[in-house]
Amino acid sequence: MSRIPSLRRRLLVALTLVATALPAAAGVRLGTAVVPTSQSIDLWIDPAQESFSGSTEIRLAVREATDRFSFHAEEMEIGSLALAGPEGAVEVSFAPGEDRTVKVTAAEPLAPGEYTLAIAFSRLLDTHAIGLYRMEAGDGAYAFTQFEPDDARMAFPCWDEPGFKIPFRVTVAVPEGQIAVSNTPVESERSAGGWHTFVFAPTRPLPSYLVAIAAGPLESIEIPGMGVPGRIYTVHGQSQLTATAAGMAAPLLHALEGWFGTPYPYEKLDFVAIPEYWPGAMENPGLITFADRILVRDPATQTTAWRRTVAGVAAHEMGHALQDAQNYAPLALRSAMVPAVQFGSWLGPLIFMAGFFLHLTNIAWLGVIVFAAVALFAVVTLPVEFDASSRAKKLLASQGLLYGQELQGVNTVLNAAALTYVAGAIQAISTLLYYVFILTNRRD
C-alpha cells in the first residue's frame, strides 16, 4: 500500500527538479513573436582602455500581439532603451532576464507591425579571448572578436541565435591613428574629437556569431589577384612576414571557386592574424581570423610543414564561405540546431539523472531524448567539416598548388583537424548509448 505514495513523492521530486531548471532553459530561445529584421551597431573602442561603449538600432517585426519580448545582452550596462512603433514612442520597461538576456515589457500589448528598438550600452572588454576582447602585443593594445557559438551578446545587444539571419551595419570609432576592420568594405570615414570612425557597408543577412571586428594599431599588406579586394591584417611590425601567405591566397580562392562551381559570395576577403588565437581559425564572412602562427613567418624560417598548414587551413576556411553560398544543407541544419544543443547538453543529463535516481523510467527516457539533440548535432557537423576539408585537399592536388610531401602534409593537417570532430561525435554518441544501455538493462 505504500508504493503509490512513494511513487507520487518521487514524481513530485523529479518534476520539481525539472521545473527548477526550465526557466533558464526557456531563456535559451527568444521565440518568434518579435524578431529582428536588420540591425545597426555603433561602437567606440579604445583597446588601451578596460571598457567600451556603443549604441544599436534594431528593426523589429512583431508577428503577433504581445506585451513582452527578450533579447541577448551579457553583463552590459544599459544606459537607455526606447521602442518606437507605427504610432510613435511606446512605453516600455526593461530588466535582466534569464540566460544572459534583457526582458522588455510594454505598458500595453504591441500590435503586429514594424518597430525600432534603440539601446545605448557599455561593457568591459573581455580579457579571455571571447566576445569583444582586448589584448596587448608588443607596444600596442588591440581589440578582436570571437563570437561563435553565442558570444556576440558580449559585444552588443542582439538576437544571438543562428536562426536569426539579418543584415548588420557596423560602425566603429577608434582613437585617431588606429584602424578598424569588419566583414564588409569601408563605406565612409570621418575624424572628430580624437576619434576616427569607420562606417562599414551593410552585410548580407548573417547570424550574429559571424559578425567580426578587429581594431587597434593594425598594419596590413594587400592580397593580390583575388578578384575581390583583400588584405592581411596583423599587429604592428608583422605585416611583411605574411607575404608568402598573401601570395598563396588568390590561387587557393580561384581553385575553390572552380571546385565549388560558384564565385566567392562576399564583397571582400581579408585575413586577420591574431596572437594567441585559441580557435585557430574562424570563417567570418569577409574577415577570416587566424592564429598568427598560421599566417606570420619570417621567410628565413619558413618550412614545408608551415606552408602545408597555411594552404590547408586557408582552403578549409574559405571553403566554408562557399558552402554558405551554395546553401549547403548540412551547414544550414547545423546552424539551426545550435539552440537545441545548448538546451539538451545540460538539461538532458539533468532530466536523465532525476528520472534514474528516483526510479521514474519515463522521466529518464525524456532526458535521453533531449540529449539526443547533442549527438545529432555532432553527427551533422561531420559532413560540414569533412566536405570543406575534402574539397580543399582535392583542389590542392588537382590544381598542382602543392605536390609530393607538401600535399601529404596538408592531408595530415586537415585529417588531424577532422579527427577532433570525429572524437566529439564519438563522445556524444557514446554518452547517448550509455544512457540507453543503463535504462534497458535496469532491473528495479
**pTM of the predicted protein model:** 0.77
Q: Would the CA dihedral through 120, 125, 131, 133 be positive or negative?
A: positive
Place 376 in a pLDDT band, splitting at 50, 70 and 90. Answer: confident
∠ CA 205-207-208 to the nearest 5 degrees? 115
Mean pLDDT of 282-307: 92
Look at residue 22 in the predicted model and tell me its pLDDT.
47
Look at residue 4 in the predicted model and tell me its pLDDT.
42
Look at residue 21 in the predicted model and tell me its pLDDT.
47
Mean pLDDT of 181-190: 98
Residue 10 has pLDDT above 90, yes or no: no
Mean pLDDT of 405-416: 57
Mean pLDDT of 278-288: 92
Which of the pair, 40 or 363, is modelled with greater confidence? 40
Place 434 in a pLDDT band, splitting at 50, 70 and 90. Answer: confident
The residues annotated with a catalytic role in the active site are: 317
